[in-house]
Amino acid sequence: MENLALIDSFSEFKDDKLIDRVTLMAILEDVFRNALKKKFGDDDNFDIIINPDKGDLEIWRNRIVVADGEVENENQEISLSEAQKIEPDFEVGEDVSEEVKLFDLGRRSILALRQNLISKIQEHDNTNIYKQFKDLEGEIYTAEVHHIRHRAVILLDDEGNELILPKDKQIPSDFFRKGENVRGIIESVELKGNKPNIVLSRTAPAFLEKLFEQEIPEVFDGLISVKNVVRIPGEKAKVAVDSYDDRIDPVGACVGMKGSRIHGIVRELGNENIDVINYTNNLQLYITRALSPARVTSIKIDEENKRAEVILKPEEVSKAIGRGGHNIRLAGRLTGYEIDVFREGVEEDVELSEFSDEIEAWIIDEFAKAGLDTAKSVLEQDVKDLVKRTDLEEETIDDVIRILKEEFED
């Protein structure tokens, strides 16, 4: 009965951890065998009998009877006189089975056994949680804000599982309150030690793709496919879509009447500006569409170097580049081509790289990031606008403009 009482006390873990009794019994056997190894050196000659229905457990030690004075291994052998105390008719060479009571292991061993059991059950839980969430990688998941830290938000789902939303996986405009529900995509699941580390992301392009799946029935049903998604989280995104049915307008279906379908997605992403474009295998047309809302006059493509020279009317250039250079940068990422913008009718212009002896390379790079890689493209901009679109000081921009103006005055 001592065994049964202790097993019942251990069984509290079954209710706390929602672990089935059979699994608990298997873990118990493993834990007890470890305890036997520590106590007796090995467990090969022990039988552990578990009754999952009753939650009972018996431990029997099997030893061979040897003549008095010839015991070499006390765990494996028993002297004839000791064996005959158990049963008077035992003889040398026979097997003796003797029940081991839990209290025989000692109080310290039982306490260690209990701690080991807790650890094993926790390990079992963590493995199950890891497998559960590993299967959910790339899927949208909702959890509640539990704790807000400087570098991450800690979330708990309905089952009490912990998820992490790091600062760099949050949209810049995100603001969370404790108890609030947050949606994101399960980006990665790893075991750190024995604990699953579940990372949620709201900045991943896949999150936007999955939102399209959730909010637009034709995407969910497979009538419309999302070919590519690129994002500057919280600012702007471009999504290329295609339809397997010529009767379906993929862009119209995704946007909806007066933007009704995409409005919920935009709101979820902190009012991120989303351009939905028709995918096509025609590269020139694809690049033209990617530069929307700008209207392209002509394109020259260098497939070997993955570059495209785009000619636009002067009034279309700022649209192609976009605020902070976001539009041209995303168009390049969407199509996989480096896009260079040129103004229609401008015959004489000079690449900024030609001024590398007077303007430092990092400054030229800053202008290039904003889609400004020629002298006239810089000179046509307002200084205050250039300060906003680049990480350059106004004084630095004034110096560049002075250098460029001298070139054209000469």
Please indicate, yes or no, whether residues 88 and 114 belong to a single structural domain of this protein: yes
Please indicate, yes or no, whether residues 65 and 176 belong to a single structural domain of this protein: no
Q: Are 342 and 311 in contact (CB under 8 A)?
A: yes
* Class of residue 283 by CB neighbours under 10 A (exposed 0-12, middle 13-18, buried 19+): middle
Please indicate, yes or no, whether residues 116 and 18 belong to a single structural domain of this protein: yes
Pairing, β 77-79 against β 152-156: unpaired
Q: Are 224 and 231 in contact (CB under 8 A)?
A: no
Whether this prediction's pTM lies above 0.85 is answered by no
Please indicate, yes or no, whether residues 198 and 180 belong to a single structural domain of this protein: yes
Cis, bond preceding 293 (omega within 30 deg of 0): yes
Q: Are 105 and 35 in contact (CB under 8 A)?
A: yes
CATH number (domain holding residue 37): 3.30.1480
Cα 251 from Cα 328, distance rounded (Å) = 20
Please indicate, yes or no, whether residues 52 and 157 belong to a single structural domain of this protein: no
268: in domain: no
Please indicate, yes or no, whether residues 25 and 86 belong to a single structural domain of this protein: yes
Q: What are φ and ψ of residue 135, in 5° steps?
A: -70, -15
Tokens of 352: 């900024």
Residue 407, pLDDT score: 72
Q: Are 226 and 241 in contact (CB under 8 A)?
A: yes
Cα 183 from Cα 207, distance rounded (Å) = 9
CA gyration radius, the chain: 36
Q: What are φ and ψ of residue 204, in 5° steps?
A: -65, 140
Element (H, E) at 123: helix 107-134
311: in domain: no
Cα 341 from Cα 283, distance rounded (Å) = 16
342: in domain: no
Cα 404 from Cα 388, distance rounded (Å) = 20
Please indicate, yes or no, whether residues 66 and 170 belong to a single structural domain of this protein: no
367: in domain: no
Q: Are 387 and 394 in contact (CB under 8 A)?
A: yes
Answer with the one of 114, 131, 148 that is the final residue of a domain: 131
CA angle 255, 256, 258 (to 5 degrees): 95
299: in domain: no
Cα 203 from Cα 199, distance rounded (Å) = 12
Residue 219, pLDDT score: 94
Please indicate, yes or no, whether residues 109 and 141 belong to a single structural domain of this protein: no
Q: Are 99 and 58 in contact (CB under 8 A)?
A: yes
What are the pLDDT tens digits along the chain (410 aa)? 344 445 555 555 544 455 666 666 777 777 788 888 877 888 888 888 776 555 567 888 899 988 988 888 888 888 988 888 888 888 888 888 888 777 666 666 666 666 667 677 677 777 788 888 999 999 999 999 999 998 999 999 998 899 999 999 999 999 999 999 999 999 999 988 778 899 999 999 999 999 999 999 999 999 999 999 999 999 999 999 999 888 899 999 999 888 889 999 999 999 999 999 999 999 999 999 999 999 998 999 999 999 999 998 888 888 898 888 899 999 999 999 999 888 876 556 778 887 888 889 899 888 888 888 888 888 888 888 888 888 889 999 999 998 888 876 65
Cα 136 from Cα 187, distance rounded (Å) = 9
Cα 125 from Cα 207, distance rounded (Å) = 28
Please indicate, yes or no, whether residues 170 and 83 belong to a single structural domain of this protein: no
CATH number (domain holding residue 153): 2.40.50.140
Please indicate, yes or no, whether residues 11 and 24 belong to a single structural domain of this protein: yes
34: in domain: yes
- The residue segments making up the domain with residue 45 are 2-131
Please indicate, yes or no, whether residues 170 and 84 belong to a single structural domain of this protein: no
**Reduced to 3 states, what is the DSSP secondary structure of residue 326?**
helix
38: in domain: yes
Q: What is the DSSP letter of 295?
A: P
Pairing, β 224-232 against β 236-243: antiparallel
Answer with the one of 203, 227, 248 that is the final residue of a domain: 203
Q: How many domains does the chain have?
A: 2
* Class of residue 56 by CB neighbours under 10 A (exposed 0-12, middle 13-18, buried 19+): middle
Tokens of 325: 């250079």
Please indicate, yes or no, whether residues 60 and 169 belong to a single structural domain of this protein: no
Cα 152 from Cα 141, distance rounded (Å) = 17
Cα 41 from Cα 309, distance rounded (Å) = 78
Answer with the one of 158, 177, 203 that is the final residue of a domain: 203
88: in domain: yes
Residue 1, pLDDT score: 38
